[in-house]
């Protein structure tokens, strides 16, 4: 990949403001956002920057230009939607897209059609980089190889991320490409949180507690700025869910562990299990690792409890109609979140602020009510938004764009 010379004023050679494209891939989906790059450095990127987020955020931040998603890639019911920051729909098409490459090509065409300059940087959200990739960085051939070697840490997430990276580097060959890791934020966890109670050789091989949703948590830290107290708990609740304990804006513990399967029961993921459950399955059903992978990540969690349904909105409707399986799934989820909040209160000594984020955290008042029920003794009341409980929109794509711009400026300095 050829180096791109970035003008000091963060403009393209045509005089247009430089743009940064952010890509977030899934197994059958692709989310994306295009930002106009700010001209001045923001507090993002390094561990040092994470502590600086308590200072005032820069007034000149990245500006959203376009956002969208390609859903159902490879399925007849697939669709592609691109809209402006104010919600104006530029493109909406319902048809079969065979691959993320096709979706990316349509995106590139839409950028040109609507007069946007081609991006000077492309930021890729990478869920897991294994033990050797714990900092946001430029995607060099060496970094890509390290990422390929880490596939066994997240076999459901890394392969589609690698495929998208390769495709994007061909379509946007003139741009710098950066990997932003969800695990990076949690590298501040102390050994008592990051080490597993296994023989030392496993830790040396990278079998440790990593934590995820780091880009979401970074964005919340930055957004709160001076209003972030010393002892906070963030709950990112969605199809994938986790809870994080923060002291002075740094992660000290989090619910997800070696992989994004651990911690809370999620839409289709089991969350934490007694290891004996897996041994039982192996002995009685003779399942191999691939079958366990599918069972734990695609057939368990809320879907396992509620007959295959993992969507919280649908479960709430079923529960309201008297469905006991749906009620159990919701109660199990909210109870697990509440238990982690209580555990982190003990870890931190007290909770000064509880933040709900993610699709469920933002939009389900019922889940928030159930989580906070019983925590009133700590001053955590869902119906008191002016108090110690807040609901915030997470800005993962914006946070990735900030990292890309900071890394671009470091390279141009």
Strand order in the sheet with 353-357: 250-254, 242-247, 231-236, 353-357, 389-391
Question: How far is it, in rounded angstroms, from Cα 318 to Cα 293?
Answer: 28
Report residue 388: phi and psi, to 5°.
-95, 5
What is the chain's alpha carbon radius of gyration, rounded to the nearest angstrom? Answer: 21
**Residue 86 among the catalytic residues:** no
Question: How far is it, in rounded angstroms, from Cα 361 to Cα 235?
Answer: 7
Q: In 10 A of CB 285, how many CB atoms?
A: 10
Q: What is the DSSP string of 394-410?
A: --HHHHHHHHHHHHHHH
Which uninterrupted H or E stretch holds 231? strand 231-236
Question: How far is it, in rounded angstroms, from Cα 267 to Cα 297?
Answer: 9
Question: How far is it, in rounded angstroms, from Cα 208 to Cα 134?
Answer: 13
- Give which of 125, 368, 377, 163 is closest to 260, Cα–Cα: 125
Question: How far is it, in rounded angstroms, from Cα 192 to Cα 197?
Answer: 10
Question: How far is it, in rounded angstroms, from Cα 373 to Cα 383?
Answer: 11
Is the separation of the CB atoms in 35 and 61 below 8 Å? no
DSSP label at residue 219: H
What is the separation of C-alpha 55 from the centre of its chain, rounded to a whole number of angstroms? 24
Is the separation of the CB atoms in 243 and 233 below 8 Å? yes
Query: Residue 32's beta-bridge partner residues?
Result: 23, 68
213: left (phi over 0), alpha (psi -120 to 50) or beta: left
Is the separation of the CB atoms in 285 and 273 below 8 Å? no
DSSP label at residue 17: B
The three-state secondary structure class of 250 is: strand
Task: List the catalytic residue out of 3, 60, 166, 182.
Answer: 182
Question: How far is it, in rounded angstroms, from Cα 328 to Cα 10?
Answer: 53
Catalytic residues, by residue number, are 182
């Amino acid at each position: 990949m050829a180096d791109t010379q970035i003008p000091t004023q963060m403009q393209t050679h045509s005089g247009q403001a430089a743009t940064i494209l952010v890509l977030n891939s899934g197994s059958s989906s692709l989310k994306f956002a295009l930002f106009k790059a700010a001209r001045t450095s923001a507090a993002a990127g390094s561990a040092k920057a994470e502590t600086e987020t308590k200072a005032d955020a820069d007034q000149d931040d990245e500006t959203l230009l376009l956002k969208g998603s390609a859903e159902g890639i490879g399925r007849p019911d697939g669709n592609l939607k691109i809209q402006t920051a104010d919600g104006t729909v530029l493109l909406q098409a319902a048809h079969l897209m065979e691959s993320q490459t096709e979706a990316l090509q349509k995106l590139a065409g839409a950028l040109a059609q609507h007069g946007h300059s081609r991006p000077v940087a492309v930021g890729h959200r990478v869920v897991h980089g294994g033990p050797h990739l714990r900092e946001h960085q430029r995607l060099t051939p060496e970094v890509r190889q390290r990422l390929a070697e880490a596939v066994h840490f997240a076999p459901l997430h890394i392969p589609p991320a690698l495929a998208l990276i390769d495709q994007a580097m061909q379509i946007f060959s003139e741009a710098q490409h950066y990997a932003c890791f969800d695990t990076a934020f949690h590298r501040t966890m102390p050994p008592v949180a990051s080490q597993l109670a296994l023989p030392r050789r496993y830790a040396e091989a990278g079998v440790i507690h990593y934590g995820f949703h780091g880009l979401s948590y970074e964005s919340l830290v930055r957004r709160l700025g001076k209003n972030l107290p010393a002892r906070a708990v963030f709950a990112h609740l969605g199809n994938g869910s986790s809870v994080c304990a923060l002291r002075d804006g740094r992660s000290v513990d989090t619910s997800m562990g070696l992989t994004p399967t651990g911690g809370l029961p999620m839409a289709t993921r089991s969350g934490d299990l007694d290891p004996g459950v897996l041994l039982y399955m192996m002995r009685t059903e003779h399942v191999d690792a691939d079958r366990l992978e599918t069972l734990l990540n695609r057939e368990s969690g809320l879907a396992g409890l509620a007959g295959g349904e993992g969507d919280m909105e649908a479960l709430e409707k079923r529960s309201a109609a008297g469905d006991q399986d749906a009620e159990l799934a919701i109660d199990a989820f909210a109870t697990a979140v509440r238990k982690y909040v209580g555990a982190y209160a003990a870890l931190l000594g007290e909770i000064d602020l509880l933040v709900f984020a993610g699709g469920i955290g933002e939009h389900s008042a019922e889940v928030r009510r159930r989580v906070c029920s019983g925590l009133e003794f700590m001053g955590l009341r869902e119906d008191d938004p002016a108090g110690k409980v807040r609901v915030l929109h997470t800005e993962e794509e914006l946070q990735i764009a900030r990292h890309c711009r900071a890394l671009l400026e470091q390279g141009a300095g």
